[in-house]
Amino acid sequence: MTNEAAVSQFPHLVWLVEFDTGCPDIDDQHRQLMADCNALSDLLTLETAWPRILRKSRELRDRCFEHFDEEEEFLENASYDKLRAHKKEHVIIRRQLDDILAQVSKVAVPSRVEIEAVLLLRTILVNHFFRHDIAYKAHLLRHRVTD
């Protein structure tokens, strides 16, 4: 497979203004995480060395965890009434990302299973952004919370 053909295999995620939550700092973090997902996809597409892909996967996880901490603090200050459930979702995602990284870090040469597991990082985060984070947008707009 040529690099050009491979690149089309994982199309880049694109941020749309409709995804904005109403908090510029949180939205910037979401855009950065999406850019990290795209960079990770590019590394996989270009058949980059596995240790580099693992390093990028860990960076994505770590940045995601930092984002969760900041987002939870922001939502607490904004008196978000569904924060408890949102935090539970973050706990689940933290566990999923750690489990995936533990699995894929065990091998020196990845099989399709490990590559798909790394791609699952992207799916988990995008699902969270667009199903759970967008849910607090209405709350923030109603209360015109500023960070």
Largest CA distance in the chain: 52
Model pLDDT, residue 16: 85
The pLDDT of residue 114 is 93
Which residues of the chain fall short of a pLDDT of 70? 1-8, 144-147
For residue 5, what pLDDT is reported? 41
**CATH 1.20.120.50 for domain 22-143:** yes
pTM of the model: 0.86
> Which residues contact residue 21 at a Cβ distance below 8 angstroms, ignoring those fewer than 6 apart?
27, 30, 133, 134, 136, 137, 140
Percent above pLDDT 70 for the chain: 92
What pLDDT, on the 0 to 100 scale, is given for residue 94? 97
Instruction: Tell me what pLDDT residue 144 has.
Output: 67
Radius of gyration of the chain, Cα coordinates, nearest whole angstrom: 16
